[in-house]
Amino acid sequence: MNPIRYEDLNPDYGPNFDADLDAVIAEVERAVRDSVDGEGEGRAVRFAHAKAYGLLEGELEILDVGDDPRYAQGIFATPGRHRALIRYSNGLGHLGPDAKLGAACGMAIKIFGIEGPSMSDEPDAGTMDYNLINYPVFFANTARDYITVAWLFNELPDGLTDRTQRAAWLHAFLTRDGALPPEEWLWDELFAISGLFTVPMPNLLHAAYWSMGAVRHGEYVAKVRMLPTTQHPGGIPSTVDPTASPEAVRDALIADSGTAHTFDLQVQLCVNLEAMPVENTSIPWPERLSPFVTVARLTLPAQDVSAPENPLRADALSFTPWRAPAEHQPLGQIQTVRRRVYEHSSILRHKINGQPRREPTAPGEI
């Protein structure tokens, strides 16, 4: 099959999109303000991915993909090496013991030395970000549905222990507050979020991470995956017991980062918009239709991330999937929501914390 071209997409988010997006931003900003007191540390934290597990330095090598021009697109058109920073985090907008936070974890990657303007609010940044998570699909596809998800994230981890409260949230999520007829209930989204709750806590350097949403890959439409490739002769568990200690995930990261690790950055091209939809991020794209192809390799050398200030350095950074050249623009309604949400959340968080919001030009500037 021939890949779907970016120019063939024709997004239309409807007349209520702007109002719904404003409501999402209001909810996110409320959560950021409330986190100063709510999280018990006297500072604002991220609306999502609040708890940093560690910040690592690495190098991304863009590979020669041979004679296939479909993969040699955008920054991947020219082989080369770029310095990188990697922030590992928990997916919730809360701090606290790992056992209470769930197993959704993020791998945010900042790549340095990127030429050309960025689509972020810092067009001359010279950097590119990937915001990846250890699950292939997402559970909200519209601005309206993200409002319900935002409420859920604010209530977790303690707010849904009551059975009646859980049932109320489930009904609101599945039926869009009763507005949808049964044939339009959000089953794909429900299955996606239910599956995420069953994922075991990952050993961060041994997990795969996905973009979940689609992105532009030059002329084409794609998703991105970061796949661990390091082989350890003694064998290291791919999961962590979050009850072993309040900081079990960071403990494992500290222990494991003393060894070098490699990841393959892979691209999966969209070849069928029905089987591989852009606007429904809750459906996995079948690899039998289009396999993931490696276009770059990330190397994390052995390093010591045990210093207490290491997670604080991670928190000083801002990551957004829209910090990218136009050739790698995020695609779809929920990705457009993320653009405004990440920007507003970052600006407000840095302002509350009295922290300069300035994109570094090299890893050592943080």
Q: Where are the domains of the chain?
A: 6-360
**For position 155, what pLDDT does the model report?**
67
Residue 206 φ then ψ, to 5°? -125, 20
A 10 A CB-CB count for 157 gives 15
Position 232 scores a pLDDT of 66
Identify the residue whose tokens are 């909200």: 140
pLDDT digits (tens, 9 = 90+) for 166-177: 788 788 888 888
Position 75 confidence tier, pLDDT thresholds 50, 70, 90: very high
What's the whole-number mean pLDDT along residues 44-69? 93
What are the tens digits of pLDDT across the range 312-360? Answer: 999 999 999 999 999 999 999 999 999 999 999 999 999 999 988 889 9
- The hierarchical CATH code for the domain 6-360 is 2.40.180.10
Write out pLDDT tens, residues 268-307: 999 999 999 999 999 999 999 999 999 999 999 999 999 9
- Name the strand (E) or helix (H) holding 90: strand 80-90
* Chain segment 16-39, per-residue pLDDT in tens: 999 999 999 998 999 999 999 999
Residue 160 has pLDDT above 70, yes or no: no
Distance (Å, whole) CA 317 – CA 193: 28
d(CA 229, CA 299): 10
Q: Are 280 and 319 in contact (CB under 8 A)?
A: no
Looking at the DSSP bridge assignments, the partners of residue 5 are 220
> For the whole prediction, is pTM greater than 0.85?
yes
